[in-house]
């Protein structure tokens, strides 16, 4: 028998699982929590932080400041980790994807190890800089506007900035961000951090260098375009369905502000300024759709990614119009990528459906739409909830932990870690079958 080698996918799959266990062990320590903490909730919180999801199965008051430090550390590791891994995957395994990458790689072409170190340093610097600015602004605002003590304002400000930029969406105010419904500063700054975190490292670098380079790669243009488009569509649809419902008691500028915020958090931060449980089922459906699409690749956000969604639309249009090439921004996109994008969507739907089915067995009394919402939220590492997370059975919590794990490392990576890839040497005769 041939000896199996450990491939990068296996390393990621095992590494993330090990980190989640480590985090859970840290949270189980008495120093981390004030009230009692069940083991499944320790795992749930650790997974939810590391996989930057933000679903909470326990009240925010459960954890001590040290506990929150552990959570913030897990979020930071999760956010930087996934940004670094997914970016380096594309940059350093010969899959150069944009002008920006080529520029970044130009200097380190001949040495791959220093290249990785330099990339990692760059990711860390970018993340910490943006978070620091956010943390400072939040701290000042919480101190001045809400009268928090400096220490408390700083603690909350730092945690919230990390939570927002890494699209973690963890709740530290017990009612999430529902106290800030009428606070444009908090909501817009949070939204900005979420969007910056969600467009991805490659895009941030190119934007940063834009004043000098004066050009954007196809990838960056697609990410920016799709992000803007989905934000606007989400805002409009939420306004349409919630104007006289969950947002009935807000004046129209605040309706727009909160609809925009609610649309932003689906990409995939998971804060809420208006309770999701007050919204209509059809709004849940819209959010399920937006959460499933998620953020940009190589970012702290989850979902199948905006570029995947873009490619699915483009492929559909090209096929219907009988075109032999998929064209975007005067560039041709390889069919192999188109095929992978459709596959990612179908795999995602499969995971959500299967997990929903298992949940329905253990929690027969919860309306199925709430279970689907929760599963998509977990798979997209979003963290929005219709309010069931606190009261579900521990078996459903384990299913959600697994869904978050799959959503974060990517179902593709997970499956690649399980199978041995190989080329079959037999060449078969081609035969068509009838389909749809």
| Interacting residue ranges for K ion, rule: CB under 5 A | 53-54, 167, 169, 270, 383
How big is the chain, counted in residues?
A: 436
The yes or no reply on residue 215 touching a copy of itself (CB under 8 A) is: no
CA 181 to centroid of chain Cα atoms: 23
The yes or no reply on residue 435 touching a copy of itself (CB under 8 A) is: yes
The yes or no reply on residue 340 touching a copy of itself (CB under 8 A) is: yes
The yes or no reply on residue 251 touching a copy of itself (CB under 8 A) is: no
Residue carrying the six token digits 């590391």: 50
CA 44 to centroid of chain Cα atoms: 17
Residues 6+ apart with CB under 8 A from 397: 40, 41, 43, 44, 57
The nearer residue to K ion, 348 or 383, going by C-beta atoms, is 383
340 binding partner (options a copy of itself, K ion, none; Cβ < 5 to 8 Å by kind): a copy of itself
Residues 6+ apart with CB under 8 A from 250: 181, 258
Q: Nearest distance from residue 110's CB to a copy of itself, in Å?
A: 22
CA 348 to centroid of chain Cα atoms: 14
CA-based nearest residue to 293, from 243, 234, 247, 365: 234
The nearer residue to a copy of itself, 92 or 140, going by C-beta atoms, is 92
The yes or no reply on residue 103 touching a copy of itself (CB under 8 A) is: no
Residue 269 structure tokens: 């931060």
The yes or no reply on residue 335 touching a copy of itself (CB under 8 A) is: yes
The nearer residue to K ion, 173 or 252, going by C-beta atoms, is 173
Q: Of these, 28, 172, 349, 388, which contacts a copy of itself (CB under 8 A)?
A: 349
The yes or no reply on residue 102 touching a copy of itself (CB under 8 A) is: no
The nearer residue to K ion, 304 or 326, going by C-beta atoms, is 304
CA 416 to centroid of chain Cα atoms: 21
Distances, alpha carbon 430 to alpha carbons 422, 427, 433, in Å: 20, 9, 10
Q: Nearest distance from residue 301's CB to a copy of itself, in Å?
A: 12
The nearer residue to K ion, 134 or 270, going by C-beta atoms, is 270
Angle at 394 between CA 392 and CA 396, to 5 degrees: 65
Q: Nearest distance from residue 36's CB to a copy of itself, in Å?
A: 33
Q: Of these, 61, 149, 179, 319, which contacts a copy of itself (CB under 8 A)?
A: 319
Residue 361 structure tokens: 């067995």
The yes or no reply on residue 405 touching a copy of itself (CB under 8 A) is: no
The nearer residue to K ion, 200 or 270, going by C-beta atoms, is 270
Q: Nearest distance from residue 142's CB to a copy of itself, in Å?
A: 36
54 binding partner (options a copy of itself, K ion, none; Cβ < 5 to 8 Å by kind): K ion
- The burial class, CB within 10 Å (0-12 / 13-18 / 19+), for 400 is buried
The nearer residue to K ion, 169 or 410, going by C-beta atoms, is 169
383 binding partner (options K ion, a copy of itself, none; Cβ < 5 to 8 Å by kind): K ion
Q: Which residues pair with 44 in a beta bridge?
A: none
Distant-in-sequence contacts of 249-252, Cβ < 8 A, 24+ apart? 250/181
Distances, alpha carbon 3 to alpha carbons 6, 82, 335, in Å: 10, 29, 34
Query: Given the rule CB under 8 A, which of 33-41, 76-84, 113-121, 235-243 is the region that contacts a copy of itself?
Result: 235-243
With contacts defined by CB under 8 A, how many residues of the chain interact with a copy of itself?
A: 89
The yes or no reply on residue 434 touching a copy of itself (CB under 8 A) is: yes
Q: Of these, 17, 40, 97, 116, which contacts a copy of itself (CB under 8 A)?
A: 97
Residues 6+ apart with CB under 8 A from 58: 37, 41, 44, 45, 390
Q: How far apart are the first and last CA of the chain?
A: 42
What is the footprint of a copy of itself within residues 63-92 (CB under 8 A)?
Answer: 86, 90
Q: Nearest distance from residue 204's CB to a copy of itself, in Å?
A: 13
The nearer residue to a copy of itself, 241 or 271, going by C-beta atoms, is 241
DSSP classification of residue 180: G
The yes or no reply on residue 304 touching a copy of itself (CB under 8 A) is: yes
The yes or no reply on residue 198 touching a copy of itself (CB under 8 A) is: no
């Amino acid at each position: 028998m041939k000896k199996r080698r450990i491939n990068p996918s296996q390393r990621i799959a095992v590494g993330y699982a090990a980190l989640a266990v480590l985090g859970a062990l840290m949270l189980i320590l008495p120093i981390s929590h004030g009230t009692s903490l069940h083991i499944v909730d320790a795992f749930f919180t650790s997974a939810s932080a590391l996989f930057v999801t933000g679903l909470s199965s326990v009240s925010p008051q459960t954890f001590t400041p040290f506990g929150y430090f552990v959570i913030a550390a897990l979020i930071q590791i999760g956010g930087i980790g996934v940004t670094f891994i997914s970016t380096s995957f594309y940059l350093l395994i010969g899959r150069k994807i944009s002008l920006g990458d080529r520029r970044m790689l130009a200097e380190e072409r001949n040495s791959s190890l220093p290249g990785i170190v330099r990339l990692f340093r760059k990711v860390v610097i970018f993340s910490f800089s943006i978070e620091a600015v956010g943390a400072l602004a939040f701290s000042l605002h919480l101190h001045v506007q809400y009268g928090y003590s400096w220490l408390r304002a700083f603690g909350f400000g730092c945690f919230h900035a990390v939570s927002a930029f890494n699209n973690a969406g963890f709740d530290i105010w017990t009612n999430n961000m529902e106290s800030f419904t009428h606070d444009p500063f908090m909501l817009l700054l949070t939204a900005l951090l979420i969007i910056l975190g969600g467009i991805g490292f490659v895009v941030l670098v190119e934007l940063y260098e834009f004043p000098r380079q004066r050009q954007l790669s196809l990838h960056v243009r697609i990410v920016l375009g799709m992000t803007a488009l989905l934000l606007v569509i989400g805002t409009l649809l939420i306004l349409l369905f919630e104007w006289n419902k969950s947002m009935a008691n807000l004046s129209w500028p605040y309706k727009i502000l909160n609809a925009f915020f609610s649309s932003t958090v689906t990409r995939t931060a998971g804060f809420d300024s208006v309770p999701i449980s007050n919204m209509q089922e059809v709004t849940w459906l819209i959010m399920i759709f937006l959460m499933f699409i998620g953020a940009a690749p190589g970012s702290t956000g989850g979902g199948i990614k905006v570029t995947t969604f873009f490619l699915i639309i483009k492929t559909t249009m090209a096929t219907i119009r009988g075109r032999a090439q998929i064209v975007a921004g005067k560039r041709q996109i390889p069919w192999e990528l188109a095929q992978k994008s459709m596959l990612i969507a179908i795999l995602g739907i499969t995971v959500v459906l299967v997990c929903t089915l298992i949940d329905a067995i253990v929690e027969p009394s919860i309306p199925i739409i709430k279970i689907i919402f929760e599963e998509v939220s977990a798979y997209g590492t979003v963290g929005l909830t219709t309010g069931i997370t606190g009261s579900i059975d521990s078996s459903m919590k384990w299913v959600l932990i697994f869904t978050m794990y799959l959503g974060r490392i990517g179902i593709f990576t997970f499956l690649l870690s399980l199978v041995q890839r190989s080329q079959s040497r037999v060449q078969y005769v081609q035969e068509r079958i009838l389909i749809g």
